[in-house]
Amino acid sequence: MPVSPVWIKAMRKFRHPKIGLSGRVMVLTTAFILLASVMVYVPSIAYFRLQYLNAKIAGAQIASLAVEAAENNTLPIHLEQELLENADVLAVALRRDSARFLMLARKLPNEIDAHFDLRNVGPLKAITDAYMAMFSKEGRIIRAMNAPAHGGGDIIDIVMYERPLREAMMEYSWSVIRVTLLISAITATLIYFSLHLMMVGPIRRLTAGMVGFRKHPEDVSHQIKPSGRKDEIGVAERELSQMQAALRQALRQKERLAELGGAVSRINHDLRNILANVQLVSGRFSDVKDPTVRRLTPSLIRSVGRAIDLCTDTLNYGGAREKPPRRLRFELSPLVTEIGAEICFPADNSIRWINAVPDGLEVDADPDHVFRIVQNLGRNAAQAMEASGSVRVEAFRTGSIVTIDVIDTGPGIPAALSAKLFEPFAATASQGGSGLGLCIARDLTRAHGGDLRLLRTGSGGSIFRIEIPDANAIANDNLNRREKA
């Protein structure tokens, strides 16, 4: 008969039960207390045995004093037996002045199983003798000797059955076990509830909040509410609450950006057609002889061009449809000249485009991507200059990396804007800027394995640095990484 999968799953759960943090701490606490008790018990049982034998020797000494006090050191037989029974020994001997006197004795056996001298007993010997007494054969007869407690001789020597000693040691052991288990249970229970209140409960709430936030990040009911604690758990609660709020805000922003991208995608076609018609009509205004119209026409054309660029940049960034770079080696200087002619600088040459790229310098990249990168930087620089200035492009090669610097003489970038300069829609302070030019330029640069960064900015202008490595250098770098891994 086949076994049900449900039954197999239930048996696995039974075989591997889940134990929480409190339960594990409770088990560990009990185990550690038991271990400590065992470590204490080992010497304590040896000490108990020595004390038991010394007590028997002391009782035997008292019995011997009764014999010494009797006339001719002789007692009636029944009185001797009573003294031996009260002392719980078989025989008592006293050694004095190198002479041994048998004070009291029953009928002695022919053989004594073990001899113990308690005058000089080391710890290891005491522990070994104690465990031999507990686990040796039944009915052993032992002999023990020690110096009298208050004088009266050199050595008191007794012969006794070992069974009463073993029973007393067993009773002592069970007492230790009972006390240990009680202490373990009380301590583990107190630690369990203390940890549950101080740690496990708050951690469970944190865990539940994280799980709920992962499933439904938009649901505010899963927001962690800090308890105000000053310890590590309180710090975790506050940091997690702030992280949830930041993530929720980022998700909302992402949703808004997605909605914006969808809206722009829907209206982009119609809007670009309208703007293209406006740009076409505006171009004819330059033929009008009215001075006012001729003066305003360039500004109108630039405004329409910026509107078209805004729609194009927003659609390209929101759609995330950038194609991988198609790399080839080409000369950079002619491309920079073409970019300067494309940017539409003022007709009065108040803002100059300076191509300082050395002739013959080649770059291994996608020409269209490099065009867009430098064009975005140049256009931003030109828009930031209100009156006059220059935009200078320099480049040089260092090994397998080509570095391109775009240098302007504008007013510089504010410190508050520098920290988030490459974030989408962050750098919208420039005139007519979409807030996407720098972001797109950096993405295109990183697609080549390079990077775009703000090298310097201030009242005298800004320098943006583009670094593009050759394709062979990137391939070799990836190969070296794989070999190291």
Residue 376 in any domain: the answer is: yes
- Same-domain pairing of 435 and 363: yes
Q: Which domain holds residue 291?
A: 218-321
Say how many Å lie between the first and final Cα of the chain, rounded: 52
| Residue 142, helix vs strand vs coil | strand
Task: List Cα–Cα distances, 86 to 28, 44, 105, 226, in angstroms.
Answer: 47, 26, 13, 72
Residue type, 472: N
Number of domains present in the structure of the chain: 3
Number of other CB atoms surrounding residue 100 within 10 Å:
13
The pTM of the full predicted model, rounded to 2 decimals, is 0.45
- Per-position pLDDT tens, the chain of length 485: 454 555 455 545 445 456 666 777 778 888 888 888 888 888 898 999 888 888 888 888 777 777 766 666 566 676 777 777 777 788 888 887 766 666 677 777 778 888 888 888 888 888 888 888 888 888 888 888 888 876 667 788 888 888 888 889 999 989 988 888 888 888 888 888 887 788 777 888 888 888 888 888 877 777 788 888 888 888 888 888 888 888 888 888 888 777 776 666 666 656 767 777 777 777 666 677 777 777 777 767 766 776 776 666 666 655 555 678 899 999 999 999 988 887 766 666 678 899 999 999 999 999 989 998 999 899 888 888 877 889 999 999 999 999 999 999 988 888 878 777 887 766 554 444 556 778 888 989 999 999 999 999 988 899 999 999 998 877 666 666 666 65
Domain at 390, CATH number:
3.30.565.10
What's 198's DSSP letter?
I
The number of helix segments (H) and strand segments (E) in the chain equals: 13, 12
- Same-domain pairing of 119 and 96: yes
User: Final residue of a domain: which of 321, 338, 373?
Assistant: 321
pLDDT of residue 429: 45
Distance CA 485, CA 473 (A): 18
pLDDT of residue 485: 55
Residue 175 in any domain: the answer is: yes
Q: What per-residue string of b and e applies to 141-167 under the rule 16 or more CB within 10 Å gives b?
A: bbbbbbebeeeebebbbbbbebeebbe
Residue 7 in any domain: the answer is: no
Determine contact, residues 406/466, Cβ cutoff 8 Å: yes
What's 149's DSSP letter?
B
* Helix orientation angle between 21-69 and 123-135, rounded to the nearest 10 degrees: 90
- Same-domain pairing of 350 and 420: yes
Using CA of residue 68, residue 70, residue 75, residue 78, what is the dihedral sign? Answer: negative
pLDDT of residue 346: 63
Number of other CB atoms surrounding residue 60 within 10 Å:
30
pLDDT of residue 32: 85
Distance CA 312, CA 294 (A): 28
- Same-domain pairing of 275 and 348: no
- Same-domain pairing of 355 and 268: no
Distance CA 28, CA 115 (A): 43
Distance CA 34, CA 51 (A): 25
Residue 282 in any domain: the answer is: yes
Number of other CB atoms surrounding residue 380 within 10 Å:
23
- Same-domain pairing of 349 and 308: no
Residue 369 in any domain: the answer is: yes
- Same-domain pairing of 314 and 328: no
pLDDT of residue 398: 93
Residue 208 in any domain: the answer is: no
- Same-domain pairing of 310 and 248: yes
- Same-domain pairing of 337 and 400: yes
Domain at 307, CATH number:
1.10.287
User: Final residue of a domain: which of 269, 297, 321?
Assistant: 321
- Same-domain pairing of 341 and 473: yes
- Same-domain pairing of 170 and 80: yes
pLDDT of residue 61: 79
- Same-domain pairing of 282 and 333: no
Residue 209 in any domain: the answer is: no
User: Final residue of a domain: which of 185, 208, 235?
Assistant: 185
Residue type, 144: A
